[in-house]
Amino acid sequence: MLMEFTIGNFMSFSEKQTLSLNAGKFRLNSDRLYKDNNCKILKFMAVYGANASGKSNLIDAFGWFQSFVVSGLKRASYQLYCKIEEKYKSEPSHFSIKVKIDEHFYTYGFDVILNTSSIVKEYLYEILKNGNEKMVFERNVPTGTFTTGPYFTSEELLERIKIYGEDVKNDGSVLFLKIMNQNKASLYEKKNKLSVFKDIYFWIKYKLDINTPESTITNYLLLKDGERLQQIIDKLKYFDFGIENFHMVEITEDKVAANLPKDFLNDVQQDLQAQKDETNNTSAQNPAVLIRTYDNIYSVELSENGTLVYRTLEFKHKNSSASFTLSEESDGTVRLLNIIEVLLETDNDKVYIIDEINRTFHPLLTIEFIREFLELAKIRDTQLIVTTHESQLMDLKLLRKDEISFINKSNSGYSTIDSLDKYDDRFDKKILNEYFLGKYHAIPIFKSD
């Protein structure tokens, strides 16, 4: 589970800012917190802010952090430092997370000079029950030092780590965490202290699910699961989209080719054939892939005779015998399908991050979507972080004070993160009026000439 995400010198964020999911002392709705003897962690966070305050920059920071860990530095990253002052061009940008994985707590982070694509330092600590930190490793590239801490008690494991660390102590182009997850599956065949590198890396790669308004969270392979498909249909009915049913129907290749390049489909066929060859034709199911375009979904399956079979979604509406494609459905329907997995997924420890959750939604639908998630939070440990302008969510009967944060932009253009929990408002206060009056900032300020 995510406890904290800290960034600095990234886009509109200059000094280090932390989005914290550590629960405060607020008692209302405590039944949807993760709780053990050591901590209380929030499972929901709504982030408010004026247009251009930095909300999307926060989401981009999550995405950049994940992408850098998994795929390395990209060429376009050199422009992502805070450009408000020239000094930030040569200063390190900071990214770190504090997470709970299984029964352990860790802090992992790194500093990187984006303009020169060079890593400055990287570290990993275990957080003990008393709050103290036990070093796993630290590296400082400019000084060429790699240090291990008391986390490793086995001399054999310690020597192996030192060998790997020695190889990269002067290398500012790659993270040590990445190195420890490249062609090293044999290291993790047996569970030992080395597994911390795999656990942290896999959490970042697979547990963070980041969604912008134009992207999708939902894994449409869920549509091949009859039980999940029915759950999605039930949700569409519940949210009153007028859809009675939907299913996959076979279509001709020319209809698919009108939206997807022929070369792309040829590559898909080769990939599916490679999958079939890998299983030596022993799989009970034909290899298939689901392709999501901007306005449609296609299932492409390799038949037994080697030809491709194409299918797409077909919707049935109430009081109508006509069929509709996804491209004919409303933007709200498409948006709900794109994020519906949040209300279905049972993978504890998944963190969904959604920018502008209220995009194309009626206010009541946004509220009900969040309400559904909060009910599920009582029985599972999935987390949801959203940015939003939906003011009707700002209700302390629905959300806890510590489940609401604000991103404010200063007159100079710097973004900062604040929690409503730092204000002394009573739990029964109507905070919406205070918000519009500017008490928490995070609203547009209109200026006349």
Per-residue pLDDT for 295 more than 90?
A: no
Q: For residue 63, give Cα distances in angstroms to 41, 221, 348.
A: 22, 23, 21
* Assigned token pair, 54: 């930095």
Q: Which of 107-116, 193-202, 290-299, 301-310 is predicted least confidently?
A: 290-299
Alpha-carbon torsion angle 397, 392, 39, 341, nearest 10: 120
Rounded Cα gap, residues 140 and 123, in angstroms: 9
What is the residue type of 227?
E
- Domains identified in the chain and CATH numbers: 2-212+346-436 (3.40.50), 242-329 (no CATH)
Report the pLDDT value the prediction gives residue 283, as an integer from 0 to 100: 62
Between 187 and 108, where is the model more confident?
A: 108
Confidence class for position 74, pLDDT limits 50, 70, 90:
confident
Q: Given the structure tokens 């040590």, which residue do they identify?
A: 176
Instruction: Write down the pLDDT at residue 34.
Output: 95
Does residue 183 come out as left (phi exceeding 0), alpha (psi in the -120 to 50 range) or beta? left
CA-nearest of 158, 162, 314 to 251 is: 314
The Cα 381–Cα 373 span in angstroms is 11
The model's confidence at residue 225, banded by pLDDT at 50, 70 and 90, is confident
- The pLDDT score that the predictor gives to residue 179 is 94
Name the residue with higher pLDDT: 238 or 446.
238
3-state secondary structure of 347: coil
The model's pTM: 0.90
Across the range 218-225, mean pLDDT stands at 71
Tell me the C-alpha to C-alpha distance, in Å, between residue 440 and each of 13, 214, 238, 431. Answer: 19, 29, 35, 9
Q: Which of 253, 262, 364, 272 is nearest to 312 (CA)?
A: 253
The pair of structure tokens assigned to 268 is 């898909």
Question: Cα(209)–Cα(350) distance, rounded to whole angstroms?
Answer: 7
Section 168-172 average pLDDT: 92
- pLDDT of 187: 84
Contact status, residue 177 vs residue 200, Cβ threshold 8 Å: yes
pLDDT in tens, 27-71: 889 999 999 877 999 999 999 999 999 999 999 999 999 999 999
Q: What is the pLDDT of residues 135-162, one digit of tens each?
A: 999 999 999 999 999 999 888 888 989 9
Q: Pick from 321, 339, 418, 420: which is nearest to 384 by CA?
A: 339
Quickly count: other Cβ atoms within 10 Å of residue 423's Cβ: 15
CA angle 85, 91, 94 (to 5 degrees): 110
Q: Could you give the angle at which helices 331-339 and 363-376 cross, rounded to 10 degrees? A: 10
Q: What is the mean pLDDT of the chain?
A: 90
The CA distance from 321 to 34, in Å, is: 47
Among candidate residues 251, 247, 374, 244, the one with its CA nearest the CA of residue 318: 244
pLDDT higher than 90, residue 438: no
pLDDT band of 428, cuts 50, 70, 90 = low
Strands (E), 128-256: 133-140, 145-148, 208-211, 243-251
Instruction: Kindly report, residue by residue over 242-270, the tens digit of the pLDDT.
Output: 999 888 889 998 988 888 888 998 898 89
pLDDT digit string (tens) for 117-134? Answer: 999 999 999 999 888 999
Cβ–Cβ under 8 Å, residues 201 and 181: yes
For the residues 290-300, what does the mean pLDDT come to? 82
**Start-to-end Cα distance in the chain:** 48
Alpha-carbon span 6 to 111, nearest angstrom: 11
Higher pLDDT: 292 or 20? It is 20
The DSSP bridge pattern shows strands 208-211 and 351-354 to be parallel
Give the tens place of pLDDT for each residue, 308-360: 999 888 899 988 889 898 888 988 988 888 899 899 866 778 999 999 999 99
pLDDT classification of 404: cutoffs 50, 70, 90: very high
Say what the pLDDT of residue 349 is: 84
Tell me the mean pLDDT in the region 283-306. Answer: 82
User: Higher pLDDT residue, 259 or 178?
Assistant: 178
What pLDDT was estimated at residue 304? 86
The pLDDT value given to residue 429: 66
